Amino acid sequence: MITKYSLTENMWGPAPEGAEPDWVDLEAPEADELAWAAQRYCLPALFLSDPLDPRERPRLEVEDGVTLFVVRAPVIQGEVNEVFTTIPLGIVIAGDKILTVCREPGLVRQLLSRQTRKPRQITKDSLLFKALIEISTDFIHQLEVLEDLTEEAEKHLSKSQQNAQIMTLLVIEKALINFSVALHSNRAIMEKLMSGTVTALSEEQADWLERALTENQQAIFTVEIFGQIVGSMGDAFGVIISNNLNKVMKFLTGVTIILMVPTLIVGAYGMNVRLPLSELFLAFYILAVICVVSSLLIWFYFSRKKWI
């Protein structure tokens, strides 16, 4: 889908019919839409198709006066089984036109519509810097969600013999790895942009880029610490689950031994030979009492030794 916007009165709005837009947003575009945009604005075709590749890494490329920024943004995919991952977002600057390309519908509009960090003067270039800082902030928010999932898994794991909580930690650990790679790659792009070798930055743009770098560095630090915690928790939880399973096996073994003595007595008196008490009228009740008392004595002994 192609959405066109124009900058009027320090704000973005839908471009009037027939007017030349300042910003073109391509959300999960079709092949014909990519071809139209490339031809209309004289862009290299790969500048529009590369950001749609889910494996595309962050990079900065300049060709024929057209600049491509590819960064990775965090997203949550799936409604039932949520998957925390990152996807590429392309920002193309071609003269006085800006194009954004993303395979996730609504992601770009959601990032740029937030009012938390609105620039004093909205310009065409401010799209790039606002996207960078909002993406860095999104990583921190996603990490908070992952932390809540970890705490929830921790509450149920101490009494669990199942693998569900371990699988949750594996999903979180995989998400942290993806976040770490994306954050370090995004930082390299922002540092290159901060150096001024690509384009000269105004004072406000430099301030915004510095904020984005600060948020990005904070997210990197959080990912590294959180990754170490999740790794340690995974090892500890594996030991806990194994210990819980050992407790169950020990209990079942104790019950088996306790029941073995009555079984032995009853089995012996089931033979067709003369045995003590076999001639008594109350032999059945005497044997039943012996079985119950012997089982209770063994249970008491095992309990004192904390074997069950």
Q: What confidence score (pLDDT) does residue 149 get?
A: 81
Q: How far lies 186's CA from each of 59, 74, 215, in Å?
A: 8, 12, 11
The pLDDT of 207-236, averaged and rounded, is: 84
Chain position carrying tokens 């900065």: 60
Q: Exposed, middle or buried, 52 (CB in 10 Å: 0-12/13-18/19+)?
A: middle
Nearest in space to 140 (alpha carbons), one of 231, 208, 73 = 73
SS3 per residue for 45-87: HHHHHHHHCCCCCCEEEEECCEEEEEEEEEEEECCCCCEEEEE
Give CA–CA dist 141/196, Å, rounded.
29
Closest of 130, 85, 97, 120 to residue 26, by C-alpha:
97
With CA atoms as reference, report the closest residue to 2 among 112, 105, 74, 129.
Answer: 105
Rg of the chain's alpha carbons, rounded to an integer? 33
Task: Give me the CATH topology for the region 244-304.
Answer: Methane Monooxygenase Hydroxylase; Chain G, domain 1 (1.20.58)
* Domain extent listing, the chain: 1-113, 244-304
Query: Where does the pLDDT of residue 78 fall: very low under 50, low under 70, confident under 90, or very high at 90 and above?
Result: low
Q: Model confidence over 101-150: pLDDT tens digits?
A: 888 887 877 777 765 555 445 566 677 888 888 888 888 888 888 888 88
Read off the pLDDT of each residue in 245-253 and give the average, rounded to a whole number.
Answer: 86
Which CATH number among 3.40.50.2000, 3.40.50.300, 3.30.460.20, 3.40.50.1360 corresponds to the domain 1-113?
3.30.460.20
CA 42 to chain CA centroid, nearest Å: 38
Report the amino acid identity of residue 62.
Answer: V
* In the chain, % of residues over pLDDT 90: 0
| Beta-carbon contacts of residue 12 (< 8 Å; ≥ 6 apart) | 5, 6, 23, 112, 122
Q: Please tell me the predicted confidence (pLDDT) of residue 122.
A: 55
